[in-house]
Amino acid sequence: MLDKYPFTPITMRHPYSSFVPYLDPNTMYFHYDVIYKNAVETLNQLIAANPQYGSWTLQDLILKDIRQVPAVTAQKMKFYAGSVYNHGLFFEGLDPSRATLPHGNLLKAINANYGNYENFKNLFVDAAKSVMGSGWVWLNSEGGGKLHIATTGNCSSPAIDKLMPVMALDVWEHAYYLKYPVQVDRFARNWFEVVDWGKAEARFNQKK
């Protein structure tokens, strides 16, 4: 995923069928090929129409004030920048071929912060259930081995200038409703079966 304009979606490393039975191919297609790619395309169109922001990174677009365009345009730019960033982390963090359990420094931090992996997973699922409407669930590293679970609404991202997002779960209905109607907790629990813990560990180690 390029961090500057023109933005591109990350490449899916596995066929959608490989996520069965935890995530279904129809949802994966709609989520990646329609929702995510549309967010990338829309953000590129917004930047093309406002080239003064062509050198800004996704982090810039998320964190900085966008003042040289009408407020409605600035709001759209922030929304789609957040969507591209969040979806990039979500899809990058999936790998059914490597889905195991957390390990290494990340597992040590999970145990230190939450007691054990099962407690952590239950709290993460509870956080997913707590999201009203559309949003995201995050595991963030604050550095020094400190972790916290957080939620954000719509396409908002955590404070990525201060934190390192380790894991991101999309709990918009488009991410799960075809397979798990009104069962976001089942979706969240089964998502853990296709998490790429190697990627999560690598992100954690960037700010451990």
Residues annotated in a binding site for Mn(2+): 31, 87, 170, 174
Binding residues: 31, 87, 170, 174
Q: Give me the sheet containing 135-143, strands edge to edge.
A: 146-153, 135-143, 164-170
Residue 103 in contact with residue 117, Cβ under 8 Å? no
Residues near 97 by beta carbon (within 8 Å), at least 6 away in sequence: 14, 18
Backbone torsions φ then ψ of 148, nearest 5 degrees: -150, 150
User: Residue 137 and residue 128: Cα distance in Å, rounded?
Assistant: 6
179 close to 28: Cβ distance less than 8 angstroms: no
Q: What is the DSSP letter of 94?
A: B
Name the region of 127 (left: φ>0; alpha: ψ -120 to 50; beta: rest).
alpha
Burial degree of 190 (CB within 10 A; 0-12, 13-18, 19+): middle
